[in-house]
Amino acid sequence: MNKVDLNTITNQYTQSTKNFKSSVVVCAGTGCIANGSMDIYNKFLSLSNEKGYKITVALKREEGGESLLKHSGCQGFCQMGPLVTINPEGIFYTHVKVEDVEEIIEKTLKKGEIIDRLLFENQEKGKIAHQNEIPFYAQQQRTTLKLCGMMDAEDIEEYISHNGYKMAETAVLQMNSQQLCDEISQSGLRGRGGGGFPTGFKWNLARKQESDKKYIICNGDEGDPGAFMDRCLMEGNPHSVLEGMIIAGLAIGADEGYIYVRTEYPLAVKRLRKAVKAANELGFLGDQIFGSDKSFQINVFEGAGAFVCGEETALIASIEGRRGMPMPKPPYPAQKGLYGKPTIINNVETLSSIPVILVMGTAQYASLGTAKSSGTKTFALTGHVANTGLIEVPFGTTLRQIITEIGGGVINDDGTNAGADFKAVQIGGPSGGCLIQDHMDMPLDYDNLIEVGAMVGSGGLVVMNHQTCMVQIAKFFMQFTQNESCGKCVVCREGTKQLLNLLDDIIEGRATMETLDLIEELAKTVQIGSLCGLGKTAPNPVISTLEHFRDEYIEHIVNKRCPTGQCSALRSFKIDQALCKKCSLCMRKCPVGAISGSREEGYVIDQNKCIKCGACVEACKFKAINCA
């Protein structure tokens, strides 16, 4: 294959776009699509002809026109979607509706006027017109995510124009495998998938193996509930993942790679397949890549719905067409992996960071973050915060910065702002633990988190307010791991089930103080006796909530009372006669007829009949029913 010159493509791209006055970037991440961003995209196109103002789709830019229309990957600020950005000015519109499109064309595109109504607004600064001035973005440092949400994810030429595939080319033509491993070791990059194993070191292990065939696998089986960083990368910048894989392949001497994507991410699968096709056409993948004598293939493999397949050996079993059950290590996949050949498995974010690191320079990347955790990390910020979405910050950022400055503060169940006053932050999903107010100013990095019994994990940050019951949260995670346990190890299969039963005992008021001892003993057993990470970390949420919220557990057990009122079996309802307007609504709403009385004498709840469903509380307009 003839070698494609990257500079020529970049020049072509610049030439073909320079006559456009502006570009309109419609966010087409899963979140914004759910809010109707594709309708907005289509509206721009359909109005283009009517309004006598030509808007051209990015991939047909040769046709010329006045504005260029792109659909990008996730821009991160999902809460405010659908998002529309007008470049080069960087005007950032939030909550855009189909009806607004006409006005955007008439005012912003034609005349350069800003439509105030669509701008982001906060109490301190009022209306903010540009993306980089919004606190949610201003406090972040986006390196891996930088291009995500800015460029058209399906446009390989636009990726190339941002130095894309340049590092892969340099690696193929000018570097040997040892140099590559050394570079990445120097950058201090650690695996972003959870464990934080140094990437360069891992590559070196596979590089030294002698074998006729080696594989590189990109682990896109992002299964942690509350985490969606990898989805955004695969959807928003699939080419960076491919480029990272090409470089990783060279570094270990592999000529074939697999991307394992979970089936719940159909858009990611589609965009990755498209990206692989485009890269093949330009000779970045296939035989004689970049005009060299090397070859590299990438296959996109769609998972079939099993959380445990995020574990390396289970993932390999799954690609080989078997049940995704983990195997004992050693042998490590770096020695004997896919089809018995040396295999390296890297997380999506890790691979996507590779080209970014090489473009930036390893020394500069290593200067970001903390001494032992260099670089930046993406987090999925969700739960009870004002601004939910995808964020990227350097390691060493504190929870306070993330929650108050980027997240805009904690919110109560009714949506009111509670400032920085959260109850707990769950980090690292079902393998992680809870952080509490004491950890507010601790710099977040791999080692600090391990020290307090949590872990970076894949990077889900779920903020919980004071109305959240921690026993319920522990039960939630236990339910998750119990469902997802593959069943191979007895202590994991049965132990998680028993832990779940014990937690149910607490929630439903059957527990005694001995239950707590039993939980702790069993939790340790499951940790010790399980083969893979899923089982070893399954009890973490219970252990961590027990450590930080032991009083809350005891309150459930001794006083049979849930402090947050979330455990329905422990609730008791009472009508406050002073507030009651005797409207009889609660009596009519009660499904079991536990409320009796009359409009003259007022109403009472029969505690023996009450099933504690809470229907009366929801029905009462005067907040006269107390739940304790």
Applying the rule CB under 8 A, the residues between 250 and 269 that interact with another protein are 263-266
Residue number, 266 or 419, with CB nearest to another protein: 266
For position 305 contacting another protein by CB under 8 A, the verdict is yes
Count of residues near another protein by CB under 8 A: 55
Stretch (H or E) spanning 236: helix 229-236
Nearest CB to another protein, comparing residues 98 and 205: 98
Instruction: Kindly report the length of the chain.
Output: 628
- Cα→Cα distances 470→89, 436, 495, 506, 613, Å: 46, 12, 20, 12, 20
Q: Do the beta carbons of residue 178 and residue 207 sit within 8 Å?
A: yes
Q: How far apart are CA 25 and CA 230, in angstroms?
A: 21
Indicate which single residue of 135, 196, 249, 324 sits in contact with another protein (rule: CB under 8 A).
324
Contact window for another protein (CB under 8 A) among 7-15, 39-47, 224-232, 434-442: 224-232
Q: How far is the CB of 500 from another protein (least distance, A)?
A: 14
Q: Which stretch binds another protein (CB under 8 A): 115-123, 395-403, 471-479, 576-584?
A: 471-479
- Of 65, 198, 225, 286, the one binding another protein (CB under 8 A) is 225
Interface region with another protein, contact rule CB under 8 A, candidates 51-59, 93-101, 159-167, 305-313? 305-313
CB of 414 to another protein, least distance (A): 12
Minimum distance between the CB of residue 265 and another protein, rounded to whole angstroms?
A: 6
The region of 286-294, 482-490, 555-563, 600-608 touching another protein under the rule CB under 8 A is: 482-490
Closest by Cα among 597, 596, 593 to 609: 593
- Express the helix, strand and coil content of the chain in percent, nearest 5 each: 45, 15, 40
Q: How far is the CB of 194 from another protein (least distance, A)?
A: 15
Cis peptide before 135 (omega within 30 of 0): no
Taking CB under 8 A as the rule, does residue 497 contact another protein? Answer: no
Nearer to another protein by C-beta: 347 or 382?
382
- The C-alpha atoms of residue 467 and residue 388 are separated, in whole angstroms, by 18
Q: Which of 150, 251, 462, 543 binds another protein (CB under 8 A)?
A: 462
CA distance 314 to 297: 22
Distance CA 32, CA 236 (A): 12
- Kind of pairing between the strands at 215-220 and 595-598: unpaired
- Number of neighbours of residue 208 by Cβ within 10 angstroms: 15
429 touches another protein (CB under 8 A): yes
Question: For residues 527 and 544, is the Cβ–Cβ distance under 8 A?
Answer: no
> Is residue 369 part of the contact set for another protein (CB under 8 A)?
no
- The yes or no reply on residue 486 touching another protein (CB under 8 A) is yes
Minimum gap (Å) between residue 371 Cβ and another protein: 31
- Any contact of residue 484 with another protein (CB under 8 A)? yes
Q: What minimum distance in Å lies between the beta carbon of 80 and another protein?
A: 9
The residue (of 222 and 312) whose beta carbon lies closer to another protein is 222
CB 257 within 8 A of CB 299: yes
Does 304 help bind another protein (rule: CB under 8 A)? Answer: yes
Contacts 24+ apart (CB under 8 A), 360-366: 360/143, 362/183, 362/184, 362/186, 362/187, 363/186, 365/143, 365/187, 365/188, 365/189, 366/186, 366/187, 366/188
Q: If you search the block for the tokens 């970014």, which residue do you land on?
A: 356
Q: What is the DSSP letter of 512?
A: -
Q: Does 460 bind another protein (CB under 8 A)?
A: yes
Nearer to another protein, 383 or 396 (CB): 383
**373-402: contacts with another protein (CB under 8 A):** 380, 382-384, 388-390
> Residue 175's CB: how many other CB atoms inside 10 A?
17
476 binds another protein (CB under 8 A): yes
The DSSP secondary structure of 276-302, one letter per residue, reads HHHHHHTTSSBSSGGGSS--BEEEEEE
Would you say 114 or 269 has its CB closer to another protein?
269
Nearer to another protein, 318 or 376 (CB): 318
Q: Which is nearer to another protein, 301 or 332 (CB)?
A: 301
Rounded CA separation 205/343 (Å) = 10
Footprint on residues 20-39 left by another protein (CB under 8 A): 30-31, 33-35
Please give the structure tokens belonging to residue 28: 């087409």
Contacts with another protein by CB under 8 A lie at: 30-31, 33-35, 78-79, 81, 222-228, 231, 263-266, 301-307, 318-324, 339, 380, 382-384, 388-390, 426, 429, 460, 462, 464, 468, 473, 476-477, 480, 483-484, 486
